[in-house]
A = this chain, B = another copy of it.
Amino acid sequence: MISPQPLIRMQNVGKHFGTFQALKGINLDVIKGERIVVCGPSGSGKSTMIRCINRLEKHDEGRILIGDTELTDQIKDLNAVRREIGMVFQSFNLFPHMTILNNLMLAQKLVRKTPKAKARDIAMRYLERVKIPEQADKYPVQLSGGQQQRVAIARALCMKPEVMLFDEPTSALDPEMINEVLEVMVDLAREGMTMICVTHEMGFARSVADRVIFMDAGEIVEEADPETFFKTPQHERTKLFLSQILSH
């Protein structure tokens, strides 16, 4: 048996904002079922990297493949690729003018063309999974931050994506709410969802990550399993960063 083909393959990817280079020579393969945590100082390019994966940003050097499809300007059905990739943002980004249920149903109806009744069933199933089925008919503002982020996760899951991307999903939350969101993410990880997660929650990284990636100044500086990463980091920059993150 040949080794499984990677679900996501980034080859020498670079990205500029004007003259500023936000990503430099990024190489990363993610296979099905892998759970990757990305960390690094502010501005190091973590968000930019995962946003390139579903083409919220366009990379300008190297290649990115999702399955067999290369992300280029010529890509015929970008949205077909995107619906295979769920994304959860730091600031939830729920649709403020729709109820929770409609938030979950909209993309199903428009993108997956799921019939309304079925879309509702799926939506309710995932709302139960993130433990807030009773909030279905409320509007986003009426929920706490933690609840909103769980809705955002459920909304992405409704599309049955192959991969989930998380960009600091807990960093806009009050301390008490962080755990309720992390729990949902740990569950997902246990069930074998492929995920790439930008986070500074080191407890989460320790307990579920297959690999931890440390970025600095647009480059992947270090890459290791959590055990090695936290115990014996190789690079000076990584050590400094870990000491800051873990000191308080």
Binding site for B on A (CB under 8 A): 41-42, 174-176, 178-179, 182, 200-204, 244-245, 247-248
Contact = CB atoms under 8 A, between A and B. Distances in A.
Contacts of A178: 248
Nearest to A177: B42
A244 B179 contact: yes
Contact of A175 (B174, B204, B244): B244
A174 B244 contact: no
Given A42-B176, A174-B42, A175-B200, A182 B248 contact: yes
A199 to B, nearest CB: 10
A202 B42 contact: no
A198 to B, nearest CB: 13
A201 to B, nearest CB: 5
Copies in the complex: 2
A211 B25 CA distance: 51
B204 A248 contact: yes
A41 B177 CA distance: 10
A55 to B, nearest CB: 27
A199 B176 CA distance: 14
B176 A247 contact: no
B248 A179 contact: yes
8 nearest A-B pairs in the assembled complex, by CB-CB distance: A203-B248, A42-B174, A201-B248, A41-B176, A179-B244, A176-B244, A178-B248, A203-B247
A243 to B, nearest CB: 9
B176 A248 contact: no
A248 B202 contact: yes
Contacts of A247: 179, 203
Nearest to A203: B248
A56 to B, nearest CB: 22
A19 B42 CA distance: 43
Nearest to A204: B248
A149 to B, nearest CB: 15
A107 to B, nearest CB: 31
A176 B44 CA distance: 12
19 contacts: A41-B176, A42-B174, A42-B175, A42-B176, A175-B200, A175-B244, A175-B245, A175-B248, A176-B244, A178-B248, A179-B244, A179-B247, A179-B248, A182-B248, A201-B248, A202-B248, A203-B247, A203-B248, A204-B248
